[in-house]
Amino acid sequence: MLFNSYPFLFLFLPLTLTLFFLLGRRSHALAMGWMALASLFFYAWWSPPYLLLLLASAGFNYGAGLLLARSPPGDARRPALALAVAANLALLGYFKYADFFIQTVNATFAAGWPAMQIVLPLGISFFTFTQIAFLVDTARGEAKDYDFVHYLLFVTYFPHLIAGPILHHKEMMPQFDRPDISRFSANRLALGISVLAFGLFKKTVLADGLAAYATPVFAAAAHGGTPTPLEAWGAALAYSLQIYFDFSGYSDMAIGLARMIGIRLPLNFHSPYKAGSIIEFWRRWHMTLSRFLRDYLYFPLGGNRHGRQRRYLNLLATMVLGGLWHGAGWTFVIWGALHGLYLVVNHAWRAVRPGSAVRGRGFRLAAGMLTFLAVVVAWVPFRADGVAAARTMLAAMAGLAGPAAETATLDWTAGRLWIAAGLAIVWLAPNTQEIFARYRMLGPVHRQADRLALPWLGLRWRRSPGWALATAVIGFVGLLFFSRGSEFIYFQF
DSSP state letter for 183: S
Cβ neighbours, 10 Å, residue 410: 17
Cβ neighbours, 10 Å, residue 104: 15
3-state helix, strand, coil split of the chain in percent (to 5) is 75, 0, 25
Amino acid at 59: G
Rounded CA separation 224/137 (Å):
49
Tell which residue, 136, 88, 95, 147, has the closest CA to residue 118: 95
Cβ neighbours, 10 Å, residue 157: 23
Q: Reply yes or no on whether 168 is catalytic.
A: no
Amino acid at 22: L
Cβ neighbours, 10 Å, residue 145: 14
Rounded CA separation 235/233 (Å):
5
DSSP state letter for 285: B
Residue of 326, 339, 347, 446 marked active site: 326
Rounded CA separation 427/371 (Å):
13
Tell which residue, 474, 483, 453, has the closest CA to residue 193: 474
Rounded to the nearest 10°, the torsion over CA 45, 46, 49, 55 is: -70
Angle at which helix 148-156 crosses helix 169-177, to 10 degrees, equals 120
Q: Which positions are catalytic?
A: 326
